[in-house]
A and B are shown apart, each in its own frame.
Chain A
Amino acid sequence: MMFDSAYLEIEILGKERERFFNLCAFHHITLYHIRYKEEALLVKIKASDLFLMKRIVKKTEIKLRIIEKKGLYFTLKAMKYQKIFFLCLLSGFFLLWICSFFLWNIEIKGNKYLSNVLITDFLQRQGVQYGMPLKNILVEQLEKNIRKEFYDITWISVSINGTTLILEIKENDTIRNQKPENFQNHLYAQEDGIVEEILVRQGTAVVKVGDAVKKGDLLISGEIEIPAEDGGIKKKVLSQAKGDVKVRYTVPIKEVLLLEYDTRIYTGEEKREYEFRYKENILGKNRKKFPYPKYDYYEEEITPGIIKKFLPEFKIYHILYREYYLQREKYTKQKGEEILNENFNKILKSLEEKGVQIIEKNVKISTNSVSMQLTGTLTAEQVIKEKDIRNE
């Protein structure tokens, strides 16, 4: 098709136009899109066919004028002096593409005790170093070798993201955080309440069933008394208190909902722009310029794959600002109750997640001109176990 390469739009004036077309066709010159423009005729031809037309033009005595030049050839010709620039740009992209097949960054996450130097030294010994081809990195083998070398690592994930090798590590914290043997631990009350049940597995119970305790009171002591033969105390051994203590307590509930609230009304005004960021820094733009007095802000990452691969920290974002204004509205009684009930259910759920068992609910909703309140108390039971131990 003619649009693949360079083409011309010519204007034809004269009497023997039909003869001109016939002669062109006879000489294998293809004519496209012949149409009238006032008195003249406009025709599109391939640029190379113009030279073949010379004799025909003379023969038919028509006037021919070039109106438009289009196609890649003419575009490049117009950019005669920018050729080198485009060549450099192309070779730059090509170089980027080639570079994206090599390792340029190593990222180590989650290490607290093992230093980055220690791990990168080991990686170097394994043959993993900057500038090596990504295809030569055997991820699974590397994971195994790291686990073998560092016994403190309980979990490791090695992955390649772009040109970055990412090592996510979890170290064995429990071994590190273990207290010395002679360190004393006790079991304390978490809330004010009454002891319902007590079961001691290790240590000495300080409270008994039915006792009222306050938050922070000692429940089970880690001290174990070893009796002497004469009935006295031979010595006291410090150990970790272990046991279950069920404490019943009341939880006060107070939820207030203001009846009047502001709602966002969107004006339909929108502003879109692009943002370039490098390591969370915005490039070439001052964020302080806000487009509207009140607006919602949305951002979407649209970084092309090749840039993501080679420069993972360089990001392109599409930003959308939507203008709105605030309008004051009022909740209906039904809606207000719905919201308060929802909030109340959330409280119940969060308590249940903590292992608290709800025994009794005593709440009511009251309304005044300004707000709605949900007030009352919950009777709850919680079992305090070793995991709740506070180190002294």
Chain B
Amino acid sequence: MSEKYLNKKEKIADICELPKDIILGAPILSVTGNREIEIDNFKKLLEYSQEKIVIQCKDWKISVEGSKLEIILYTRDELKIWGIITGILFG
């Protein structure tokens, strides 16, 4: 997706005062310390191992790295991860 197109959408969301996660389809991440992470607005799970979890969102891939990673809750809208989180990468 082009940068220009994204900026346009962002502008519309700003003007109309609409939530960006709906307009842009952006994921919402809630991180609690380095132990818990909650992801909303994602597409699917691409990879799961104890050291790395890769999640496909609308425009990006999010990879959560760490050790002893466990998926505590996995539904259509919500994904909750526990473990020792060392990094979150957007690709």
Residues on A close to B: CB < 8 A?
17-18, 21-22, 24-26, 28, 30-36, 41
Contact = CB atoms under 8 A, between A and B. Distances in A.
Contacts of B71: 21, 31, 33-35
Contacts of A28: 75-76
Nearest to A32: B73
Interface stretch (B11-19, B28-36, B46-54): B46-54
Contact of A25 (B70, B72, B75): B75
Contacts of A26: 76
Contacts of A36: 49-50
A30 B73 CA distance: 7
Contacts of B72: 32-34
10 contacts: A18-B45, A21-B45, A21-B71, A22-B45, A24-B74, A28-B75, A31-B73, A32-B73, A35-B71, A36-B50
Given A24-B74, A30-B75, A36-B49, 15 more contacts: A18-B44, A18-B45, A21-B71, A25-B45, A25-B74, A26-B76, A28-B76, A30-B74, A31-B73, A32-B73, A33-B72, A34-B74, A35-B70, A36-B50, A41-B48
A21 B74 contact: yes
Contact of B70 (A18, A24, A33): A33
Interface size bracket, B side = 10 to 19
A22 B44 contact: yes
A384 to B, nearest CB: 86
B75 to A, nearest CB: 5
A330 to B, nearest CB: 62
B48 A21 contact: yes
